[in-house]
Amino acid sequence: MNTRIIRAIVRKDLRVVRRSRALMTPLIVLPVLLMIVFPTVVTFLPRLMGGAREAFAEMFRNLPDPVRAQFGGFTEATWIRVVHTQMLAPLMLLVPFMVANVIAADGFAGERERKTLEPLLYTPATDAELFVAKLLAAWLPAIMIAFGGAAVYAVIVNVMAWPVMQRVFFPDLTWIVMVLWMAPAFAALGLAGMLLVSLRVRGMQEATQLGGLFVLPVIALVVGEVRGAVLLGPSMAIVIGLLVWVIAGAMLLFGVKRFKRTSLVGKL
Amino acid sequence: MTAPNAEGSAIVLERVVHRYGATVALRDLTLAVEHGEVFSLLGHNGAGKTTTVRIINGLLAPASGSVRVFGLSPLGDGARVRRRTAVLTESPTLDDRLTARETLRAFAEMYDVPAAEIRGRTESLLSEFGIADRANERVGGFSRGMKQRLALARALVHDPDLLFLDEPTAGLDPVATHQLHSTVREMSRSRGRTVVLCTHNLVEAQALSDRVAVLGEGQLLALGTPAELARRIAPRLEVSLEVEPAQTDAAVRVIGSDNGLTAVADRGGVVRVSGIVRDAVPSLASRLVGAGIALYRLEPHEPSLTDAYFALQHRQPAVRDTDGDEL
């Protein structure tokens, strides 16, 4: 494989993404909302809304016994730990998923829609090099944003919760596994889903609509966590991450067999 | 149809068939393009020109037949073939969000141009195609003509041995068109590069091409130099005669209207004769002189490629050369 050609395509794709307001808006807004604004607001909800405290205490009482046993009785410190290490944790998986999904949509369906795919097909890049370049162009920014966002999240949470916690309590082991193991897996799932969809549809709009459906496993995980149906510990995070890697890998394998010049050119 | 002589040819297609579903796009296409020539593929929309270019570059797999480019198979050795070819597509297909300079550099890297040469080549092409002043502007703000010039510069950034130009002057102003024609001639004549031109512009094809192939519904209808095709396919000429003005009517009567000839007194002393075959021109001159007509000038107007093209499109059977081979 010619890594120079791959790097050139990745650089070009990322430059094109950076220059698109339509793409950059969700790529900035979503991580800021999910990894900064939302956790900040939720951290202080019991303090900001006096009446909400009892509601959150009730919510805490309704959590499954193992979760409550893990955190003890309801206090503001407990609330902060529950919110960040359990309830909101899976939300951060949306970030790598969506970033990879959006960039992949632009790289596959978007490029075809703008008719800029054809000149790429005429370059000496092999099908495999094109495929790898397109994957990296979507996957690398997704995990970079996930890692960067996670670091910012950790700093913000510790700083803001300091008056209550009086110590650095975050991230815990589960969260570290989630960021380093699950986030890349969900990014791979996001782009694999978009790859499969893009191979079938012609337009970017159609691709984003269908490709977005692959977010459902993440939503299910979030809902499961909030409702206490899923208790995400380090082992569970490793198992779920592995499962997602396997699914994403299978989808990519399926996609690579169909990612052929001779097929792609038929949709130009 | 006989196979072309493959020795030394840049491109050799032998009995190539391609289908899009039930539609046959190419039917037993056989032709060879020689090194250093400017070769035009002519034909209506859907004649198979773009399909041919895509097959030659390994973007499509033929259903049957053989394709060799510089002796390589575009499917098996696609990367090696495409390293030596370049395609200027009909629409510029540039990314509007990149600048002109970024576009050229990105494609230079994709074509694996040595890093040390990229800057020099990029700047030289930007300057040659009159884009240097706007090199750092995004392509989205360029006019159609500028985009086409940039697309051509992009096609040349790796100094290809074989250049495909699909409707290269569509949307270009006369100056840019002239510049493109000069580039094509320079590529071929001075640098020995092979140029394949896919065009509807028959005048352009006649002016630039060493040889042309006319395709119709995926079939090769004719192949040869523009002059050969014009003579073979549209053999009847128009001839202008300048005679003594007082003898104009007499000249028209001598010419008569036999054998499909039409003679019209154009203006004082000039008679236009149409529908005459080339071989009949000397006897026409001798008939006039023999009848006492003072013939001052005889100017045959050769049929053009355009005449041949339109004659071909109304005459589907393949053309054969003097040896009986299909052209």
> Tens of pLDDT along A88-142?
778 888 889 889 988 988 888 888 888 899 999 999 999 999 999 999 999 999 9
- Listed in sequence order, the DSSP H helices in chain B are 49-56, 78-84, 100-110, 115-128, 144-156, 174-185, 202-208, 226-233, 248-255, 281-290, 305-313
CATH classification (class only), B236-302: alpha beta
Percentage with pLDDT > 90 across chain B: 44
Q: What is residue A226's predicted lDDT score, i.e. its pLDDT?
A: 65
Percentage with pLDDT > 90 across chain A: 30
Cross-chain residue pair B78–A118, CB shorter than 8 Å: no
Q: Which amino acid is at B118?
A: I
Any idea what the Cα angle at residue A194 is, between residues A192 and A197, rounded to 5°? 110
**Which residue from A minimizes the CA distance to B97?**
A16
List chain A residues with CB under 8 Å of B157.
Answer: none
Task: Identify residues of A whose CB sits under 8 angstroms from chain B CBs.
Answer: 2, 4-5, 7-9, 11-12, 15-16, 19-20, 114-116, 118-126, 261-262, 265-266
Predicted confidence band of residue B7 (pLDDT cuts 50, 70, 90): very low
List chain A residues with CB under 8 Å of B61.
Answer: 262
Instruction: Say if CB B157 and CB B128 are below 8 A apart.
Output: no
Q: What is the mean pLDDT of the segment spanning B129-153? A: 91
Q: What is residue B114's predicted lDDT score, i.e. its pLDDT?
A: 93
Cross-chain residue pair B60–A2, CB shorter than 8 Å: no
Choose the mutation target among A6, A112, A118, A123 for the interface with B, i.e. most B CBs under 10 Å. A123
Q: Does any CB of chain A come closer than 8 Å to the CB of residue B112?
A: yes
Q: What is the mean pLDDT of the segment spanning A38-44? A: 79
The 10s digit of each residue's pLDDT in B66-124 is 999 999 999 999 999 999 999 998 888 899 999 999 999 999 999 999 999 999 999 99
Q: What is residue A229's predicted lDDT score, i.e. its pLDDT?
A: 66
The domain ranges of chain B are 9-231, 236-302
The 10s digit of each residue's pLDDT in A178-209 is 999 999 999 999 888 888 888 887 777 788 77
Closest Cβ opposite residue B110 in set A5, A265, A266: A5
Q: Does any CB of chain A come closer than 8 Å to the CB of residue B257?
A: no
Q: What is the mean pLDDT of the segment spanning B125-134? A: 92
Residue B180 pLDDT greater than 50, yes or no: yes
Choose the mutation target among B95, B101, B163, B166 for the interface with A, i.e. most A CBs under 10 Å. B95
Q: For A160-174, A244-258, B256-270, which range has the lowest pLDDT when averaged over its residues? A: B256-270
Predicted confidence band of residue A43 (pLDDT cuts 50, 70, 90): confident
Q: What is the mean pLDDT of the segment spanning B244-267? A: 82
Return the number of other C-beta atoms located less than 10 Å from residue A48's C-beta.
10
Q: What is residue B258's predicted lDDT score, i.e. its pLDDT?
A: 61
* Alpha carbon of A260: minimum distance to chain B alpha carbons (Å): 9
Closest Cβ opposite residue A9 in set B89, B98, B110: B110
Residue A44 pLDDT greater than 80, yes or no: no
Q: What is residue B320's predicted lDDT score, i.e. its pLDDT?
A: 37
Q: For B292, left (φ over 0), alpha (ψ -120 to 50), or beta?
A: left
**Which residue from B minimizes the CA distance to A5?**
B110
Q: What is residue B257's predicted lDDT score, i.e. its pLDDT?
A: 63
Question: What CATH number is given for B9-231 in this structure?
Answer: 3.40.50.300
* Alpha carbon of B178: minimum distance to chain A alpha carbons (Å): 24
Asked whether this chain's domains B9-231 and B236-302 adopt the same fold, the reply is: no
Predicted confidence band of residue B6 (pLDDT cuts 50, 70, 90): very low
Instruction: Say if CB A130 and CB A5 are below 8 A apart.
Output: no
Give the DSSP per-residue string, B141-202.
GS-HHHHHHHHHHHHHTT--SEEEEESTTTT--HHHHHHHHHHHHIIIIIT--EEEEEES-H
Q: What is residue A230's predicted lDDT score, i.e. its pLDDT?
A: 67
Residue B53 pLDDT greater than 90, yes or no: yes
Q: Does any CB of chain A come closer than 8 Å to the CB of residue B61?
A: yes
Cross-chain residue pair B95–A7, CB shorter than 8 Å: no
Q: What is residue A121's predicted lDDT score, i.e. its pLDDT?
A: 94
Q: For A126-135, B268-277, B308-317, which range has the lowest pLDDT when averaged over its residues? A: B308-317
